[in-house]
Amino acid sequence: MQRSDPFEASATADGRYRLLVESISDYAIYMLEPDGTVINWNAGAQRFKGYTADEIIGQNFARFYTEEDRLAGMPQRNLARAAQEGRFEEEGWRVRKDGRRFWANVVIDRILDSNGRLVGFAKITRDLTERKAQHDALRVSEEQFRRLVKGVTDYALYMLDPEGKVASWNAGAQRIKGYEEAEIIGQHFSRFYTDEERLNGEPGKNLDIAREKGSVEREGWRLRKDGSRFWAHVVIDAIRDEQGELVGFAKVTRDNTERREAQAQLESAREALFQAQKMEAIGQLTGGVAHDFNNLLMAVLGSLEIVSKRLSYDPKISPFVENAIQGAQRGAALTQRMLAFARRQELTMGAVDVLEAVRDMGDILERSLGPSVFVTTRLPLSVPRVRTDKAQLESALLNLAVNARDAMPAGGSIVISATAKTVSEGGDARIKPGSYVVLSVADQGEGMDEATLAKATEPFFTTKGVGKGTGLGLSMVHGLAEQSGGKFILSSKKGRGTTAELWLPFAADEAAATTARTSPVPVEEEFAAKRILVVDDDALVLLNTVTMAEDLGHQVFDATSGKEALAILESQKIDILVTDYAMPKMNGGELASTVAARWGHIKIIVATGYAEMPTEHKGRFELLGKPFGSQDLKTALERAVLADDDATPL
């Protein structure tokens, strides 16, 4: 029996419609019997299914399905759904004549006659293989990108919805912020901000800026799940669809806490270097001025002492001479402070018991500070000895205590404490690694602001009134600490008092402190006159030294340079050489070395205002500190003469 063809029947009404359908090549358009038998075929069906009309008409459309789908009964189910629902659509794999697969979009529409009886199906198929390949490639790319983003651990990369709720979460976000994905998805991102920023509306402001400008970049403190803070660099980008509608935000956060701390340490190191360079420059200037001032004081004190000895007591004159001597001595003490700041003072280094030094200072502190100040000591039972100059340490302690008293005009409490501390590598950048005893003096006084604190240890800087301070007390403490290999640290807040810490390194040998070089050496009653050569390029000092030596009963020769001194030594028998160190062309160290090599019997004394001699000269010759008086010169001469030739000079 011949089957009816609805397309052929309708062609009498409009043959052009059939021509249109049969000529379409981008779609396979054909008819099926109710059982799925193909009853017509267009050019598009032939193009991407591979069958001609003669080959396929009368065959069941199930052959276009994969073997798996046929075994699963999918062709019949699809027709049944189209018959029941009127239409069926799906995408899936189909098979060409040559066996190759292609990805198809399939639509099956039922066809009913005028009586509502099913007479067949219209089937439209489109080849979407190329589009699927692109889609699959895009999906793979997106999956790879998703895995990449999820796997990044150095950055928190996540999405926010338009309201600011977290929509995705990567491993970096979990590592940095501490939340697992299940805990944070759906939560508002403002929980990462500090309370202060949330109260200021910072999260909302950042989203508003990103909406308006497309992106916002910030740095600031953020919170982890455990409540700890970290310094974050944050970028928020607005994400829009093809129509320009906002669909959310991409948020990138990096934990820059370590970098910020490293930058802060670098800035601190730079500031410390700048401060050290500045203090070094000031120290050079101060040391030079102090040295020259020492020579002037040497001339003044020496002359006054000589006048005082040669002048019979006269009530109208002698008190003024004594007054001048005391004034010059105060000037000498001031010079010593300047030299201590400049680290050019000759210190008598040894192992010092800090606790003993503090206890020994008790009476002096009580008398010096007055009744309105109460001193409390917080000292352990024992601490290791430190390497420093005991006399200078006591002077430094007194200076710090007096400063603390002056900061409390109405009186108050001063706490003196000591403790042993160790600074490890990478610890406090201000202090070299090592073991220290920290001597601390804390007051409850007015305190200092940052600007004042920054200048406190500079020489001649003082907050006291005119005539009430030299501005060298803290400078001297600073110099003592540096010359001892330690550090002086001041901390203060305006209105909250000041704490001064003197960090002194442990002594290498914790035996008793060595005997000071200036300690008197027992001498015999009679000291034979000697032939002495005095060398100094300063005529004023030279005159005084020669006169003092002559008054002590010695025969004295004088020279103003190393060259002139050597000429005298060639022609005269000399027992003792007394030479200044700081001289032009040939300094005292060089002269002393030359004399020691050529005239080994000559005792040598080097006079200096500070410890400026190079290492190769130190310890070889007797030192005489400037300014010195007649008794100081006498002691030095006796010590040089009576010292054993084989012994190492102190």
Domains of the chain (ranges, CATH numbers): 6-128 (3.30.450.20), 152-255 (3.30.450.20), 265-341 (1.10.287), 349-505 (3.30.565.10), 531-642 (3.40.50.2300)
Question: Which residue in 398, 370, 634 sits closest to 527, CA to CA?
Answer: 634
Residue that is written with structure tokens 């290791």 in the block: 384
544-590 pLDDT, tens digit each: 889 889 988 899 999 999 999 999 999 999 999 999 888 888 888 88
Q: Bigger pLDDT: 323 or 530?
A: 530
Q: What is the pLDDT of residue 281?
A: 60
- Is residue 104 classed as helix, strand or coil in its secondary structure? strand
Proportion of the chain above pLDDT 90, given as a percent: 34
Query: Between 280 and 169, where is the model more confident?
Result: 169
* Three-state secondary structure readout of 309-352: HHCCCCCCCHHHHHHHHHHHHHHHHHHHHHHHHCCCCCCCEEEE
Mean pLDDT, rounded, of the chain: 80
Length of the chain: 650
Does residue 595 have a pLDDT over 50?
A: yes
CB 517 within 8 A of CB 649: no
Helices (H), 97-201: 129-151, 171-177, 181-184, 195-199
Distance CA 545, CA 531 (A): 14
Distance separating alpha carbons of residues 90 and 6, to the nearest angstrom: 25
Residue 154, Cβ density class (10 Å: 0-12 exposed, 13-18 middle, ≥19 buried): exposed
Please state whether the predicted TM-score (pTM) of the whole model is above 0.95.
no
Candidate ranges 261-275, 319-333, 474-488; pick with highest mean pLDDT: 474-488
Give me the mean pLDDT over the 221-226 stretch.
93
